[in-house]
Amino acid sequence: MIGRAAARGWATQRDRAGNLVVRVPATAGRERAPTVILQGHLDIVCERDPASPYDPRAGRIHVVRDGDWLRADGTTLGADNGVAIAAMLALVEDGAPHGPLELLMTVAEEVGMAGAAELDPDLIGGSVLLNLDSEEDATLTVGCAGGADTVVRFEAPREPLGADAVRVTVSGGRGGHSGGDIDAGRSNAIKLLGRALAAAPRLRIASLDGGSSRNAIPRDAVAIVAGDAGAIARAGAEAAGAYDRTDPGVRVEVERGGAPPAGAWTAAASARIVDLIAALPHGPLGMSADFPGVVETSTSLGVAATEGDRLALTCLSRSANDALIGEVTRAIAAAARLAGAEAEPGRRYPGWRPDLGSPVLATATAVHERLFGAPPHVNLTHGGLEPAIIGARKPGLDMLSLGPQIEGPHAPGERLHAGSAERFTRLLAALVDELSR
């Protein structure tokens, strides 16, 4: 992006966190207009189906046009939030009229909004911020949930296994965004794996791993254990059957054989692990009183990782009411203590409280009605958005979020509706034009 800006003579600046701002001069006659900040993040969630030859982490994303939709073959598409960067460039490179612009491109949004959390407020000087990270067509987002990470660490000595091990695999879940899709009733592979393992008496766990992103609902999980394979298989089939409507492809498979592990947790320690996974909350915990049908508070168990004698479980809790997040994290910490584990607080970020009297909201609503003949939907999202953090670091900004229709972000199958992307870029250009008059 720095190279692209330099080729066009646009000034750039980065802060210590790596966030980038590109300063685009106004088009002729708009030089005295207020500066508008267009903001999105540069990183994406890199999820892939295990059998896919493509891998976003290695830069291999195979884009497919499927009717009115764009998707990637076997991986995430990266529309979240590549579409923001593309929209910024389309606006300024296509010659749309605008006042002075600051294209703010943040880093590490998908790992706790670390870039926004460390943003140097002096990097930006505009008074209006348009975040381009929403995922609903014809919708203006005016607020979002805050979030808090918690890592639960269970540690106990391991002993030689002395028994044949089996591999228990959960796969085929739909996954999805742990904010936007948390109320879809989809399976959590780590929780499903724990439920299957709980059926085996005197179970011993050698390893348990699942999920790959703290903010994605886990689609896959695997454990190497010694225990009653038949009991695990029966319990796994029953557990998977509970999701035949939301995750018709989810399955629990038990395989015998393979190289035996060097050691495993004792039966007592393994029982505490299974209980801990069962006790950790996952899913919606409360609904918004101001926006009917919108989740206000939730939590998600996103990643499980075996690290020697330690099992680490990563949870992400969200709420549009900052006062409720502590209630959720205390519940997670209590479950950890009861299992003899430790809960380590991680990054925490605030929510973005809606301002329904916002001037930029009024302008965007009028522009939408003029372009499309109907008012937009005004919404609060349960996903985290960077304006919550940027607004806290740069008080006084008038903020709004908009975007095209994106479905299934954070999981393979993520797709972008082409028609909504066209409407989104038209709305953005017209709004920037109006704000610079």
Q: Are residues 280 and 356 in the same domain?
A: no
Domain that holds residue 249: 148-349
Whether residues 99 and 215 fall in one domain: no
Gap between the Cα atoms of 83 and 81, Å rounded: 5
The full 3-state SS of 21-86, as one line of letters, equals EEEECCCCCCCCCCCEEEEEECCCCCCECCCCCCEHHHCECCEEEECCEEEECCECCCHHHHHHHH
- d(C-alpha 9, C-alpha 28), whole Å: 16
Q: Are 328 and 358 found together in one domain?
A: no
- Residue 283 maps to which CATH number? 3.30.70.360
Whether residue 158 is found in the same domain as residue 261: yes
Same domain (yes/no): 302, 357: no
Statement to judge: residues 103 and 207 lie in one domain = no
Distance separating alpha carbons of residues 254 and 269, to the nearest angstrom: 22
- How big is the chain, counted in residues? 437
* Domains: count for the chain: 2
Same domain, 396 and 333: no
Q: Are 288 and 320 in contact (CB under 8 A)?
A: yes
Answer yes or no: do 370 and 312 share one domain.
no
Same domain, 54 and 139: yes
Domain end: 293, 316, 349, which one?
349
Out of 322, 349, 376, pick the residue that ends a domain.
349
**Residue 78 CA to chain centroid, in angstroms?**
12
CA dihedral 214, 215, 217, 219 (to 10 degrees): -60
**pTM for this prediction:** 0.79
Contact status, residue 40 vs residue 85, Cβ threshold 8 Å: yes
Same domain, 323 and 395: no
What tens-digit pLDDT sequence spans the chain (437 residues)?
Answer: 999 999 999 999 999 999 999 999 999 999 999 999 999 999 999 999 989 999 999 999 999 999 999 999 999 999 999 999 999 999 999 999 999 999 999 999 998 899 999 999 999 999 999 999 999 999 999 999 999 999 999 999 999 987 789 999 999 999 999 998 999 999 999 999 999 999 999 999 999 999 988 999 999 999 999 999 999 999 999 999 999 999 999 999 999 876 678 899 999 999 999 999 999 999 999 998 888 899 999 999 999 999 999 999 999 999 998 899 999 999 999 999 999 999 999 989 899 988 999 999 999 999 999 999 999 999 999 988 999 999 999 999 999 999 999 998 988 999 999 999 999 999 999 999 999 99
Boundary residue ending a domain (325, 349, 373): 349
DSSP string, 311-361: EEEEEEEEESSHHHHHHHHHHHHHHHHHTT-EEEEEEEE--B---TT-HHH
Catalytic residue status for 244:
no
Structure tokens at 319: 């709420």
- Based on the domain organization, do 260 and 307 belong to the same domain? yes
Same domain, 368 and 321: no
Measuring CA to CA, which residue among 144, 133, 217, 135 is closest to residue 178? Answer: 217
| Confidence at residue 258, expressed as pLDDT on a 0 to 100 scale | 67
d(C-alpha 83, C-alpha 75), whole Å: 16
Distances in Å between the alpha carbon of 84 and those of 176, 262, 274, 308, 327? 20, 48, 41, 41, 34
The Cα 52–Cα 315 span in angstroms is 27
43 is catalytic: yes
Contacts of 363 (CB under 8 A, 6+ apart): 431, 434, 435
Distance from CA of residue 149 to its chain's centroid? Answer: 12
End-to-end CA distance of the chain: give it in Å, rounded.
Answer: 28
* 117, HSE (Cβ side, Cα atoms, 13 Å): 17
Give me the torsion for CA of 287, 292, 294, 295, rounded to 10°: 0
- Omega before 188 within 30 of 0, i.e. cis: no
Kindly name the residue from 102, 109, 398, 407 that is annotated as catalytic: 109
Determine which one of 43, 102, 247, 414 is catalytic. Answer: 43
CATH number for the domain that contains residue 384: 3.40.630.10
